[in-house]
Structure 1
Amino acid sequence: MPSSSATATAGNAVSNEQKSKSFAAFKHVVNYAKPHKLTFAAIFVCALLGISADLLQPYLVKIVIDDHLAKGKAEFGFIAMMAGIYLTISLISFLFTYLQNNLLQFAGQSIVAKIRKDLFRHISKMSMSYFDKIHRGSLVTNVSSDTETISQFFTQVLLSLIRDGMTLVLIIYFMFRLDATLAWYSLTILPVIGLVAFMFRRYLRQAYQVTRSRLSRLIGFIAENLSGMGLIQAFRQEEEQTRRFNEHNQSYWEGNMREVRANVLFNRTFDILGNLALVLVVWLGGMAVFHKSVEVGVLYAFTSYIRQFFQPINQITMQWNTFQSTMVSMDRIWKIFSTEPEVQDPLPERKAELRVEKTRGKVDFDHVTFGYAPSSPVIPDLDLHLSAGEMVGIVGTTGAGKSTLISLLNRFYDVNRGSIRIDDVDIRDIPQQQLHRLVGLIQQEPFLFSGSVLDNVRLFQDDIPREQVMEACRQVGVHDMIMRMPQGYDSQLSERGSGLSAGERQLISFARIMVFEPRILILDEATAHLDSQTEQLVQNALQTVSEGRTTLIIAHRLSTVMHADRILVMKDGRAVEEGTHDELIAMHGYYEQLFNHAKQASEEE
């Protein structure tokens, strides 16, 4: 068994590593504030002027009490002048506090908007392997909730540190100006405050971490259920999913209540300390007034300052929970920013330029080996060569490696061994943006965004003319359907194109291909869920979009690939047969088994 000292050393190492990561996260986020240095300088000046004006008010009352009222002087003109000064500095305090808050909100919201923008851009550049491991709900929480928490740091915590920290310093200055002895007595409570803050720190941080983690799981569960609502209702899973939701909701509620209890206990402890300090000052000051060693006006001003003395301390400590929550959010966001995509663009010296108009579309899979886990290859060794303009069908049972092949060509993943080349150029040497311009993908479930039909075809690229989009839709046979919609090409589609049939959504995705004109076209089970009539429409569109392009068709229905130039039959990640439909049938091999099975299933329908 390891010794206790070894365990402690390991624990300290983990703690130091966590602190180092937290510091790196904090430093990274704070760097976003650098472009706003002048704004923060203006905030500091406004805070100084506003707080100074505010803290002068008790001192003015002290002058009126001790220098005039206590001495029996009732000069109306002097009191009116002091009242005017009091009103003026109140207005000055209001003005600069207003400016300070507006400037801070502007800077804070600008910073967080930039963080959110960079975070979304970074996530969009991550490799597909990243999304295989990270729950979508966590990413939604990072982009929305965590960035909002960081916004609170700049608009609440930072404001408290500037305003309340400056207030505290100025109050101490005024208290020592009034009476040094009473001021020293008041400061004796500060070590107790520091001790309480230290004791609560770890407990509060743990409470925030638990709450954020449970919120992430709750959001993920909701997103998952909303996406699969059709399946839930079809299999009457409403009660079960509601039960599971209640478990997540209850867990989040318990975490929230733990956080609330910690905050209430933390804040009320400071209220008690503040009241004890006030009682101490009133008692000591009252005795001093009784013995005529302190004037009444001084005691009034001192009690005003001691009340205000604990307000900024209380405000700063109340922001401690927000700061702890911010640190957790910063850690989570920094974890994303510090994760580099597994698939990287080539270095400048290796970068190859392939222009779309000059690319022929020749594709070579040279002894490719790939596995999502290196120890379990999905494709053990594939050697496949496609001529420019050739149409190749890829068939096989589920798990044969068909879709994996397409993911590798799109470079969603990098091969473990071997290479994939387009026109004799390794795709790892082609910038990803250019590669995805060369390779067009039509998936089994085409994704449509919330927006107009026009924008869904041209994917929100306004530089693509409307006429070009309309011509593309005519070529694939979807123009008439679009024109029957209430607003034609300006008709708004909801998320995923609900309201359109599967065939209509697929034809719109075909129109995208016609607009962007890739040299290599991939259809991933594009007709798997279509009825025979709709499939024929899609087949006609396929003939149009595949003309002059190298085309790979992954097919569940063998009828989709029967007219391909060549059919590749895959089994267990290997190409076991290859040829035209007639050649493969004549072999009486694995393809014939698949064909007969599909024919029998079609007859049974």
Structure 2
Amino acid sequence: MQQTSTVSTGHEPERPVKGKASAFRAILSYARPHAWTFTAIALCSLLGISADLLQPYLVKIVIDDHLAIGRNDTGFLVGISLVYFALAAISFAFTYVQNNLLQYAGQSVVARIRKDLFGHISRLSMSFFDRFHTGSLVTNVSSDTETISQFFTQVLLSLIRDGMMLVLIIYFMFKLDPLLAWYAVLILPVVAIIAVSFRSYLRRTYQQARSRLSRLIAFTAENLAGMFLIQSFRQEKEQIRRFDEQNRDYLAANIRQVRSNVLFNRTFDILGNAALALIVWLGGKAVLDGAIQFGVLYAFISYIRQFFQPINQITSQWNTLQSTTVSMERIWRILSTEPDVRDPRPEQTASLQPEDVKGRIDFENVSFGYNPDMPVITNLNLHIAPGQMIGVVGATGAGKSTLISLLNRFYDRSEGSIRIDGNDIRSIPQELLHRMVGLIQQEPFLFSGSIIDNVRLFRQDISREQVIEACRFVGAHPMIGRLPAGYDTLLSERGSGLSAGERQLISFARIVVFEPKILILDEATANLDSHTEQLVQQALHTVSTGRTTIVIAHRLSTVMHADNIIAMKDGQIVEQGTHGTLMALDGYYADLYRHAKEAGSAG
């Protein structure tokens, strides 16, 4: 399934993505709310630079108008010294203000980008996460946004300050001596040629380094998540070897990038020194010939040194600009990805309130495939009455989990319709749909934080008393009471330290707190021992009372008492009925039951 290519970033209208220029403009649009701040930065830069560049001109006046002709005017020299000091103080003050304003504006822009990026990722459809590695997305949110931060706090400053400085230096040089100024300006086309020559190569080296870093982060995240499996099968050496291979690839790409940057920057150093030597030679001859005064040559040498300083600063930021462009493209690729699953327009939205939901579910001629050429579910029809408990069984790949993914609208069906209380789920806003449909998975996810926050999912409008009552309701209260800090016990990532059954009980408490009218359990008891499964089964019975419940079962004992059991095979319902009815048919379900019983006996 392909994502479309329009997006609203939350501060501007939707628009199509047309390439690199669009990505650059889109990211720069985040700076619009700070337009006056950037104007103040430019003004401070102009005043600070002007104060800096007037200093050599003052020295020129002292040399040519006083020292060179033997005038002994101590008062004038003291006055010039005071003016020189004042200019230095003015330059310091405006540079200080400029840097503080720039940091504030730049960091604010990047904080907004980071917030929008994370928020947008959280709203994307499951098909997006099927295609993008977690490590790559982590790189987007952390490393790429940090690169854009460098653009606003380093590159932008260089473009503003050094650009103004270059223009003002050229003005002062032409004011001092037009002929020497023309010699200096002739170097600019050479600078442009070198910059263009290096541009594509620098970009390629940076892209390669970023790509290899992304792969390295993804590999690391994957291995940390699967460390239990790695150690269980003694795969440490093999994974270390693979990590070392990717690490060496990243090292080689980094060295290549650094080497190209050094070559680029040193080329300009050589060019600047050669230009300075040329000006000293030409200017020295002019002084000896009496064409210009010594003070003019002194000031001109000072300006020519400063002339190459902004050029060097701008060109040294070239690699940062290249990296920024790549990072902007990567971030904009995410921001410009519109979810496959979208909320209905206001005029198409069903008038449905959570408290009025009865829980009737209808699948009518539903077909779906993660790949359009490979259907997973074909022409499926299923009708579930309010408050009914449905068991879903079948071999791996039969389409059981896909069924509940479609009901949750993690994906949109290709054909047919799915309705809740007669309303097509595409007409129900996703926030409302997910309040109506509660999901408990085989591996419940717990966040780093307290137990109380994991039950209420950090929502402060849900009181502590409600959480405790919910845990009592599902039988989790005694277990929590045995923990060192009770409900305030801090859990590590994924709830390590709690057993699978204890984590599952906390997920049942969530259901009670959020009160969905439809409950889905996806293999919720598959990995539990018999004692823990009994506790969870009791909790299941408690929370399913009065709710429409769909139970996807690995252990058929979980659904034996369901009101209706559907047996799925190859994306279709091949049998349905009660346990007794299906056993009497002696068909597919009966085979599954016998195999499960034999496996249980063997275990």
TM-score with structure 2 setting the length: 0.96
Q: Which of 523, 531, 537 pairs up with 2:529?
A: 531
Distance in 2 (alpha carbons) for counterparts of 1:98 and 1:323: 24
Q: Which residue of 1 aligns with 2:578?
A: 580
Post-superposition CA distance 1:152-188 (Å, at most 9, x none) = 1111110000000000011111111111111111111
Q: Which of 170, 173, 177 pairs up with 2:171?
A: 173
Distance in 2 (alpha carbons) for counterparts of 1:494 and 1:44: 48
Post-superposition CA distance 1:337-392 (Å, at most 9, x none) = 11111111112221113211100000011111111112221111211100000001
Note if 1:335 corresponds to 2:329.
no
1:244 to partner: Cα distance = 0.8
Equivalent residue letter for 2:313:
Q
Q: Which residue of 2 aligns with 1:305?
A: 303
Post-superposition CA distance 1:92-129 (Å, at most 9, x none) = 11111011011011101100111111111111111111
Distance in 2 (alpha carbons) for counterparts of 1:384 and 1:189: 77
Post-superposition CA distance 1:500-557 (Å, at most 9, x none) = 1101100000000000000000000000000000000000100111010000000000
Distance in 1 (alpha carbons) for counterparts of 2:357 and 2:539: 23
Post-superposition CA distance 1:315-337 (Å, at most 9, x none) = 00011111111111111111111
Q: Which residue of 2 aligns with 1:12?
A: none
Distance in 1 (alpha carbons) for counterparts of 2:527 and 2:311: 65
Equivalent residue letter for 2:68:
A
Q: Which residue of 1 aligns with 2:223?
A: 225
Distance in 2 (alpha carbons) for counterparts of 1:253 and 1:491: 42
Q: 5 Å matches for 1:392-541?
A: 392-541=390-539
Q: 5 Å matches for 1:282-361?
A: 282-361=280-359
Equivalent residue letter for 1:154:
F
Equivalent residue letter for 2:433:
L
- Report the 3-state secondary structure (helix = DSSP H, G, I; strand = E; otherwise coil) of the residue aligned with 1:500: coil
Distance in 2 (alpha carbons) for counterparts of 1:38 and 1:384: 60
Q: Which residue of 1 aligns with 2:383?
A: 385
Distance in 2 (alpha carbons) for counterparts of 1:534 and 1:187: 81
Q: Which of 35, 43, 50 pairs up with 1:37?
A: 35
- Report the 3-state secondary structure (helix = DSSP H, G, I; strand = E; otherwise coil) of the residue aligned with 1:349: helix
Note if 1:123 corresponds to 2:136.
no
Distance in 1 (alpha carbons) for counterparts of 2:415 and 2:283: 83
Q: Which residue of 2 aligns with 1:109?
A: 107
Q: Which residue of 2 aligns with 1:599?
A: 597
Q: Which of 160, 181, 202 pairs up with 1:204?
A: 202
Q: Which residue of 1 aligns with 2:569?
A: 571
1:383 and 1:20, CA in 2 relative to 1: closer, same or farther beyond 3 A? closer
**Gaps spanning 5+ residues in structure 2: where?**
1-16
Distance in 2 (alpha carbons) for counterparts of 1:237 and 1:353: 55
Q: Which residue of 1 aligns with 2:264?
A: 266
- Report the 3-state secondary structure (helix = DSSP H, G, I; strand = E; otherwise coil) of the residue aligned with 2:19: helix
1:594 to partner: Cα distance = 1.3
Aligned residue pairs: how many? 587
Q: 5 Å matches for 1:7-22?
A: 20-22=18-20
Equivalent residue letter for 2:363:
F
Q: Which residue of 1 aligns with 2:237?
A: 239
Distance in 1 (alpha carbons) for counterparts of 2:61 and 2:373: 84
Distance in 2 (alpha carbons) for counterparts of 1:569 and 1:170: 80
Distance in 2 (alpha carbons) for counterparts of 1:356 and 1:49: 62
- Report the 3-state secondary structure (helix = DSSP H, G, I; strand = E; otherwise coil) of the residue aligned with 2:417: strand
1:599 to partner: Cα distance = 1.3
Equivalent residue letter for 2:317:
Q
Q: Which of 79, 82, 85 pairs up with 2:80?
A: 82
Note if 1:146 corresponds to 2:154.
no
1:20 to partner: Cα distance = 4.9
Mean Cα deviation higher: 172-181 or 19-28: 19-28
RMSD: 1.1
Q: Which residue of 2 aligns with 1:558?
A: 556
- Report the 3-state secondary structure (helix = DSSP H, G, I; strand = E; otherwise coil) of the residue aligned with 2:328: helix
Distance in 2 (alpha carbons) for counterparts of 1:579 and 1:541: 24
- Report the 3-state secondary structure (helix = DSSP H, G, I; strand = E; otherwise coil) of the residue aligned with 2:566: strand
Distance in 2 (alpha carbons) for counterparts of 1:599 and 1:208: 58
Distance in 2 (alpha carbons) for counterparts of 1:533 and 1:577: 31
Q: Which residue of 1 aligns with 2:58?
A: 60
Q: Which residue of 1 aligns with 2:21?
A: 23
1:570 to partner: Cα distance = 1.0
Distance in 2 (alpha carbons) for counterparts of 1:354 and 1:459: 24
Mean Cα deviation higher: 300-309 or 575-584: 575-584
1:584 to partner: Cα distance = 1.4
Q: Which ranges of 4 or more aligned residues in structure 1 deviate by more than 4 Å?
A: none
Distance in 2 (alpha carbons) for counterparts of 1:257 and 1:576: 60
